[in-house]
Structure 1
Amino acid sequence: MRATSRPAFELASRRVARRHEGLGRIFAGLALLAIAGPFLVSVIAAVLADALDEPSLRSFSLHALVMTLPGVLAALGLSFLSALFATTAVGRKGPVRVAADAAGLRFASGAVERSIPRAEIRSGMVLSDLHVRVELRLRRGWVMEVHVAREDEGARLLAALGIGPTERRVAVALGSVHRELAAGCVGLPLFMVLWLIVIAEISPPVTIPGSSAPIVAWFALTLLSTWLLRRAARPTQVVVGTDGARIERPFSSVWLPYAELDSVETRGDRLVLSRRGGGIPLVLRTGDTMTEALAQRIRDAHEGAASGAALRGAEALERRGRDLAAWREDLGKLFAGGDYRAASLTPEDALHSLDDASAPRDRRVGAALLLRIAGYPEAQEHIRVAAGTTADDALRAALESAAEDEVDDAALARALR
């Protein structure tokens, strides 16, 4: 995506804080491991004892199983730490001077100064509940909160950083991520007891003495049930890109290109996305805090996608049923042997098609390949930035493949399938 000049912006914030969602996820994983680890070790030891006819392994299996109980207690403590790190924002109360520009963010409070490079900031949104704040998601799991006086200040801060509907995709979870953790920590011991009772009732008449089959069945059924419960508790996630929105529910995913989006409405704590042609609208329960911010983000991105106009001749970039080798060969001919002035499409035309959120998937990938074939300066960076703006998983995978030093045709074919 071509760089544009953006005006710098400064404000005085009454509070700047950050929290570590990534560390919260690590403790969540440790909490599940504290319960599942002893169970897994017990099952492996039981299977080996059965295969090797080794009594000491059977004894070890029993002792490992007993360790599941303290594992549950440890998981409770780890779950508390997970929630603490993921939800508690720690920082300085104002006034904090905040400056934003293309280089990143700078904070100054008294004699203390700190900066965050723009490359560390992945996405951002303006949220309004009791306080108006800008929430910036950084790499390595950090989340930065900058409190602002008005929503327009938050919008100007994001604009100065280049985080707008045409710059970055953003993923928003509609609900607490701790529901999934709680479901796993509660579900695993619960299903262990439940399936133990069931298998103890049915195993004697159908298994041979000393067989480890009931233990393996107990382990498999417990893990499968726990996985299903965790998956059902997973909050819906909305990924807003420059070309559409993807709604990821616990057991399904819906891709809604902006070309099919008719309107975005808010009804209390619900977000309604209506399709063109009168299809069934998508209704999402977002919560009062998130509804309007998410709706506005989708509207802005929708308007940005609609404003782009396709170039004449850009359809030549599309695959149109050709195999990859023939497609790439034909793309190379569009630059007329590298003479940009005599070419039917220029590098600027290819950049336009690459950035055009309303263009078909294969046209944008064709534009990326054309830039690589022509050896256009900084082609890889342009392609990677374009991949970072889309909410279409298949397109992002194809663009990331096209940006590699050696384009992987097999990966490209899978992404375009």
Structure 2
Amino acid sequence: MTSPRLCIESPSLRIVSRRRAWALRIAVVGGWGVSMALLTAYAPDLTGIYGTALTFLCLALLVGSLRGGPTAGAARRGQPGAVTADGGALYVQIGGRTRTIARGDIVAGWTEEGRGHGRVMLQIRTGEVVAADVTGAADGHALLEALGVAPEQRAVAVQLGSPHPPARRFVLALVGLVSLAVAAPSAVLSAALATVVLGGNDYWLGSLALMGALSVISSVGAWCCLRPLVGTTLRIGTDGLSIRRLLRRRFVPRAGIARVGVRGAALVVERRSGGPVVVMTSGAEEAAALARRVADALAGRAAAAPAETLTALDRAGRPLAEWKHAIIALLQESTGYRRAGIAADDLFSVVEDGAARPERRVAAAAALASSGGPAAQARVRAAVEACVSTKLRIAMLRAADGEIDEGALAAAEEEAMRRA
């Protein structure tokens, strides 16, 4: 289904490129290579000392730049122009030039509040961001909806900026790398000395204690300095929030969120039970932009379905085959989309409700996918794209194909119950 043509005039339009950061990193590596070559050629006796120092400085510059400025909430000034969503493409007109961006290359979008105006942010697969000021929230949502990246259509993943300025990131990276370089050999030497001491040679006991303490102190220093430089990715969907940092992922379900606010540079997620979840951002502007996106995603909840619809979708201990047959029979063309007082709109309200139980969302999705036709399947898949829970996405994708994966559904139910 093709969205109608939509053209919005913007007083400030800009395409923000992320290539500059990579150009600077390539320049740092190139400068290191040239400097090392000059040292080797003209001062070989100093290569060891100055070469090591230069290597640590360049590595600190690279590590400190990995988590840079924010994408959300950053102030951007552009030129007057227009953005047009037409068919499968977005046309960006700035200064007499037009750039065409395929709709499939737009991976995320959100709205922000500016001074007296709104702003639409569109993230492209290449890493570039289109920032367009609009007159009101209605225009911004209409553009996102036309491109298929509105809060109710697709979840958004935002790489959060660092709350530390560039100079501090450089210092943290430098101290952390030096500490890491001390921790690794001291740990190896401590292990070797421990083997000797355990073998009965107490002469090396003092050296073991010294190297062990040095290993522990340098390891703690490396952790404390490098940890703030690790990036955080926040995914926002209609079913909740997903916070990923390193190998740790934390999912906060929609049903467990009471409200979302901003406290300084932190996004604060108040839960119905348990303490708040605090996510540090680069500043108050980024935190406010993310809070707005979270509010938009959680507000895009369909009206509650009637109680009889919810009861009919429950498995209630029935065997899988019997349950699947019953829910598919809810929507048969011969009944005119009605059966036992259940309408297609009621099922859609369950599928699109981020706070509904996974079992009910999967059952409603399977019923619509099996009997609702291509339009219903497309709408179900849009609801899937708006989810951030990987387990729920898998279960609903199976249901969108008309199948119910018992294992995937059980995993989604277990995650929802555990996180609630």
Structure 1 length as normaliser, TM-score?
A: 0.65
Please give the alpha-carbon distance, in whole angstroms, between the structure 1 residues aligned to 2:155 and 2:222. 32
Please give the alpha-carbon distance, in whole angstroms, between the structure 2 residues aligned to 1:272 and 1:86. 18
Amino acid paired to 2:98: E
3-state SS in 1 of match to 2:153: coil
Structure 2 length as normaliser, TM-score?
A: 0.65
- TM-superposed CA distance for 1:315, in Å, is 2.9
Amino acid paired to 2:395: A
Match of 1:308 among 264, 286, 303: 303
3-state SS in 2 of match to 1:339: helix
- TM-superposed CA distance for 1:203, in Å, is 0.3
Counterparts in 2 of 1:15-414, with a 5 A limit? 15-20=13-18, 75=59, 94-100=79-85, 103-109=88-94, 111-127=96-112, 133-147=119-133, 154-155=140-141, 157-158=143-144, 160-176=146-162, 187=176, 190-204=179-193, 206=195, 233-248=229-244, 251=248, 253-257=250-254, 259-276=255-272, 280-286=275-281, 287-305=283-301, 308-311=303-306, 312-322=308-318, 324-335=320-331, 339-341=334-336, 343-344=339-340, 345-374=342-371, 376-378=373-375, 380-403=377-400, 410-414=407-411
- TM-superposed CA distance for 1:346, in Å, is 4.9
CA contact (8 A) 1:107 1:114 kept: yes
- TM-superposed CA distance for 1:253, in Å, is 1.6
- Count of residue pairs brought into register by the alignment: 365
Please give the alpha-carbon distance, in whole angstroms, between the structure 1 residues aligned to 2:323 and 2:21. 45
**Structure 1: stretches of 5+ with no match in the other structure:** 32-66, 209-221
Please give the alpha-carbon distance, in whole angstroms, between the structure 2 residues aligned to 1:177 and 1:393. 28
- TM-superposed CA distance for 1:83, in Å, is 7.0
- TM-superposed CA distance for 1:197, in Å, is 1.8
- TM-superposed CA distance for 1:134, in Å, is 2.7
CA contact (8 A) 2:7 2:84 kept: yes
Inter-CA distance 92–232: structure 2 relative to 1 (3 Å threshold):
closer
Please give the alpha-carbon distance, in whole angstroms, between the structure 2 residues aligned to 1:236 and 1:85. 13
- TM-superposed CA distance for 1:82, in Å, is 5.8
Please give the alpha-carbon distance, in whole angstroms, between the structure 2 residues aligned to 1:204 and 1:283. 43
CA contact (8 A) 1:402 1:412 kept: no
Please give the alpha-carbon distance, in whole angstroms, between the structure 2 residues aligned to 1:301 and 1:239. 11
Please give the alpha-carbon distance, in whole angstroms, between the structure 2 residues aligned to 1:141 and 1:260. 32
- TM-superposed CA distance for 1:174, in Å, is 4.0
Amino acid paired to 1:136: L
3-state SS in 2 of match to 1:206: helix
Please give the alpha-carbon distance, in whole angstroms, between the structure 2 residues aligned to 1:320 and 1:185. 59
RMSD, aligned CA: 5.0
- TM-superposed CA distance for 1:93, in Å, is 5.3
Amino acid paired to 2:304: A
| Paired-residue identity, % | 31
Please give the alpha-carbon distance, in whole angstroms, between the structure 1 residues aligned to 2:290 and 2:390. 20
**Structure 2: stretches of 5+ with no match in the other structure:** 30-50, 198-217, 415-420
Please give the alpha-carbon distance, in whole angstroms, between the structure 2 residues aligned to 1:184 and 1:80. 6
3-state SS in 1 of match to 2:154: coil
Inter-CA distance 123–309: structure 2 relative to 1 (3 Å threshold):
same
- TM-superposed CA distance for 1:310, in Å, is 0.9
- TM-superposed CA distance for 1:156, in Å, is 5.3
- TM-superposed CA distance for 1:413, in Å, is 4.5
